[in-house]
Structure 1
Amino acid sequence: MGCGCSVSAAVEPVELAPTTGQFFQTFKLGRKLGEGAFGQVRLTTRINTGEMYAVKIMDVRRSGDDATMDVQILKEARTESQLLGQVSGHPHVVALYETYLETPGLFYMIMERCYGSLMDSLCDMPKLTETNLRRMFRQMLLGIGACHAAQIVHRDIKLDNFLYGGERCRTIKLSDFGLAVRLPRRGAVKGVSGTAPYMSPEMLGRKKYDTKTDVWSFASTAYVILYGDVPYSPAQPSAPAVKKAIVLAYPPPTWARNEKLAKRYSQPSEGAEHFCRFLLVRDPSLRPTVQQALNHGFLQDVGDEDISEADEDEAEESLIENPGEQIRTITNLFASKKKPRIISRGLDEVLARLEEAGPPLPHADLEGLGGGHVFTEEIPQLPQNFSDEEEAGGQSQRMTFATSMRRKLSTESRIVRHSNRRTNTHSGVTASQTTEAARQLQKALSALPDHLGDSERGINGTIA
């Protein structure tokens, strides 16, 4: 099957009911997968089903004050979850399931578990053939196209932000929406964000830009894979130097492999070079869209086989052996040396203390808006319709209102039952408050639409 899949269909989000459960009531933390300026990513297991997910834990505490939250950081965390939620039903975007905001100022994003980045995969790949490269490019573009169809600019397209996930963990999925923005009605945004070698000329030139900036970043990524160097490579590699080179368009791209690679491998094929030149256009008004990139001849007749399972012709020449090693070496030269704006402040210790203490008891206000230990976020909006080809992949991510509400009530029911078995001095919940919580649960249950039936409402109107 070819790559004629359209990515321009409008996304109709479905607004889901809010959850009111607490993170440690529902999940158990596992090992750490990564750490950065925002906080950390860890494995987590849903206690009642054993299902495994990844959780991104963002530290939104105000510096030096565990009692209050940093409004700006919290806004950024919520924006990231909302934008990811708009496209998380797409088969080439990491799925987001739930979000929680809890004291002492931690924001949890429950996401699909993935298995390593595309960069990691290239590091483990003994050789990269053009057949596999074309499949790789196609899946990357489909993920980017889902964002653009939802009027979202990702702003950090690079190999590290594509993960392997899906049913067999062999589907490329776009992740990390921490720098993403939604296009306004006028269709352009400003601001310099991303990773230096992949930033577009219009972004670095302090001009307004749109989704075409992501196309430039993808083209720069393709150039790095094909030629083993960044398109605009200054004599002294550094983040400031490469930004200046992109703005000045000097020194220009050589469209040839660096000296080290040229000794061992032939140049990329004419089709691969034409594809990269087609995308790496400095003028954004002349630069193609993602859909036009998918329609390019280089990506035509590319099958939908998983990249690691594709039947490759053993005689096919390698574009490069151990490709990840070469790519990581060059990209590390341009890594920013600036210290992160947000520093994790004993986050491991905080999480260990919270997990050991167990979930606090709920206050009477089950919507979590009237004070107490937990303020649980609304589940981000998920898309209702993608194109026909993507419908099957997105179907599993959608939840009906009834299913969401039933999960909400079941979670609160467990919390209330738990409160009758022990006293939690930290939350200061009284017996009358737990009684009131139970009463509100029954009230919420009775509010479910009549057409849901006993399977959703529970037997005799009690919590299932």
Structure 2
Amino acid sequence: MAQPTQGNTIHNVPAPPCATLVALYHPTIQIPIFRAYKPLIFGKSTFQPFHIDETQSLEDKHFSLLVCLDEIERLTFRIRDLSKQGTFVNGLHASNTKEVRYGGFITFGTTPLKGSPALVLQLRKQSPAPQICNEFRIGKIIGEGGFSVVKLAHRHCTDTKFAVKVIRRCNLPGFSDDPTQREIDIIRAVKHPNIVSIIDIFQDICRHYVVMELAPLGSAEDLLKERMHVDQSLVRETARNICPALQCLHRMNYVHRDIKPANLLLFSLDPPLIKLSDFGLARKLAGGPLFQSIVGTRSYMAPELISYQQYDARVDIWSLGRTLFSLLFGIDENLNKLPLLPCDLAKQVLMGMLEKDPEVRWSLEEVLQSQWLEEEEEEEEENEEEEE
């Protein structure tokens, strides 16, 4: 099998039904329920093919059923009566939305016990997207976010390890601006050796499955938890790796808006290879400053973003400066410690990146051309000459 490359076609995988409506006294009535983004409407026409007399009293639009995921990603089923005759869930009138669980009874009529035989919800266990399972063996969780989990995956044919980001698709009816698709589009458009690559993409009606490069050493945040702070030489290399990635992003008019240690992935420490990840909050500049929405991780947000001012790509420079500071001093340390930095060259760069006024703030080019970053390059060249 050929190795997938960045930019593959998204695999739309038909999802199995997540439940079935079964008529208690008429087993021929079995209606599969699929996940949808808007309520499913049930009425007389739904049951006409079964030729059951008891269903003739149903109205054209008798009740709606919404299938969604709750805050812990558990499937829930919500019934709402749309009729004059009445819809009951376990004997309770569903005039307002009622949750019905697997095995719950839905009856119709003017009283809970009057009308057609009850319909019973039964669950058919939802399986993951079958096509991804044909190509990858999905393993343990290696990371978690608000709307996603990252799992370890092995390709069947080579046993190569990858990371699979499993992202819940939006529950809101009529939601068209899919943030996951936007993230995928950005990573595909902005190709750089220090930006994490997408290997393949799968999706079904409930979730996206984004197969990405696996960072064997985790994130810079993981490194901080292990060491409390990072050597200045590695912090310098972090700036050397991430600044060009951000330059590439900004040249294409994208703003990341969530630069922080957790989004810097470590692929190697010798030589250092660090990549920028998680473009879920990234946006494209449309010829001017971005809107005033506050997004990101608060302790890494630029001052103009927090204060509801219009902002542009320079917020990423402040966030990267704050990230480099966290690597040097520790993740929870206050910026007041910056003057204590013993290296004047490092202090100069970080103070330039953390300038409150974006008009005065250092550019990425200034950071890359700073004496702090050039200093170690000169030392490395001298060491190589000595070894020769």
Provide the TM-score with structure 1 as the length reference: 0.50
Query: Cα distance, 1:77 vs. partner?
Result: 1.1
Q: Secondary structure at the match of 1:222?
A: helix
Paired position in structure 1 for 2:362: 288
2:211 aligns with one of 86, 110, 122 = 110
**Quick check: 134-143 or 176-185, which moved more?**
134-143
- Alignment check: 8 A CA contact 2:163 2:211 kept: yes
CA distance in 2, matches of 1:218, 1:92: 14
Q: Which amino acid aligns with 1:272?
A: A
Q: Which amino acid aligns with 2:370?
A: H
CA distance in 1, matches of 2:323, 2:170: 35
Query: Cα distance, 1:17 vs. partner?
Result: 6.2
Name whichever structure is richer in helix by fraction. Answer: 1
Paired position in structure 2 for 1:262: none
CA distance in 1, matches of 2:355, 2:174: 39
Q: Secondary structure at the match of 2:376?
A: coil
- Alignment check: 8 A CA contact 1:135 1:302 kept: no
Query: Cα distance, 1:170 vs. partner?
Result: 4.6
Q: Which amino acid aligns with 2:132?
A: F
Flag the 1:109–1:293 CA change in 2: closer, same or farther, 3 A: same
Deviation track 1:75-114 (CA, whole Å, cap 9, x = no partner) reads: 0111111112222x311111112222213x1101110011
- Greater C-alpha Rg: 2
Superposition pairs for residues 211-360 of structure 1, below 5 Å?
A: 211-228=313-330, 253=336, 255-257=338-340, 267-303=341-377
Q: Is residue 175 from structure 1 mapped to residue 310 from structure 2 by the alignment? A: no
Q: Which amino acid aligns with 2:374?
A: Q
Flag the 1:200–1:50 CA change in 2: closer, same or farther, 3 A: same
Paired position in structure 2 for 1:47: 156
CA distance in 2, matches of 1:25, 1:254: 52
CA distance in 1, matches of 2:154, 2:176: 26
- Alignment check: 8 A CA contact 2:314 2:358 kept: yes
5+ residue gaps, structure 1, are: 1-13, 63-68, 234-252, 258-266, 312-464
Q: Secondary structure at the match of 1:77?
A: helix
Deviation track 1:30-86 (CA, whole Å, cap 9, x = no partner) reads: 121112211210011222333221110011163xxxxxx765487011111111222
- Alignment check: 8 A CA contact 1:54 1:111 kept: yes
**% identical equivalent positions:** 27
CA distance in 2, matches of 1:27, 1:74: 29
CA distance in 1, matches of 2:344, 2:269: 35
Flag the 1:228–1:98 CA change in 2: closer, same or farther, 3 A: closer
Flag the 1:41–1:254 CA change in 2: closer, same or farther, 3 A: closer
Q: Secondary structure at the match of 2:192?
A: coil
Q: Secondary structure at the match of 2:320?
A: helix
Query: Cα distance, 1:126 vs. partner?
Result: 8.4
- Alignment check: 8 A CA contact 2:230 2:328 kept: no
CA distance in 2, matches of 1:269, 1:125: 20
Q: Which amino acid aligns with 2:245?
A: G
CA distance in 2, matches of 1:193, 1:282: 18
Q: Which amino acid aligns with 1:37?
A: G
Query: Cα distance, 1:227 vs. partner?
Result: 4.5
CA distance in 2, matches of 1:51, 1:132: 28
1:81 aligns with one of 184, 189, 200 = 184
Query: Cα distance, 1:15 vs. partner?
Result: 10
Query: Cα distance, 1:254 vs. partner?
Result: 5.6
Flag the 1:281–1:161 CA change in 2: closer, same or farther, 3 A: same
More RCO (CA 8 Å, sep 6+)? 1
Runs of 4+ with >6 A deviation: 166-169, 229-233
Q: Secondary structure at the match of 2:338?
A: coil
CA distance in 1, matches of 2:328, 2:174: 43
CA distance in 1, matches of 2:379, 2:283: 32
Paired position in structure 2 for 1:57: 166
Flag the 1:168–1:57 CA change in 2: closer, same or farther, 3 A: farther
Flag the 1:201–1:26 CA change in 2: closer, same or farther, 3 A: same
Paired position in structure 1 for 2:147: 38
Provide the TM-score with structure 2 as the length reference: 0.59
- Alignment check: 8 A CA contact 2:149 2:167 kept: yes
Paired position in structure 2 for 1:368: none
Query: Cα distance, 1:124 vs. partner?
Result: 3.4
Flag the 1:221–1:102 CA change in 2: closer, same or farther, 3 A: same
CA distance in 1, matches of 2:378, 2:161: 26
CA distance in 2, matches of 1:305, 1:196: 37
CA distance in 2, matches of 1:305, 1:163: 26
Flag the 1:77–1:128 CA change in 2: closer, same or farther, 3 A: closer
Name whichever structure is richer in strand by fraction. Answer: 2
Query: Cα distance, 1:228 vs. partner?
Result: 4.7
**Quick check: 193-202 or 140-149, which moved more?**
140-149
Paired position in structure 2 for 1:122: 224
- Alignment check: 8 A CA contact 1:26 1:47 kept: yes
Deviation track 1:117-152 (CA, whole Å, cap 9, x = no partner) reads: 112223434874333332222223233223212221
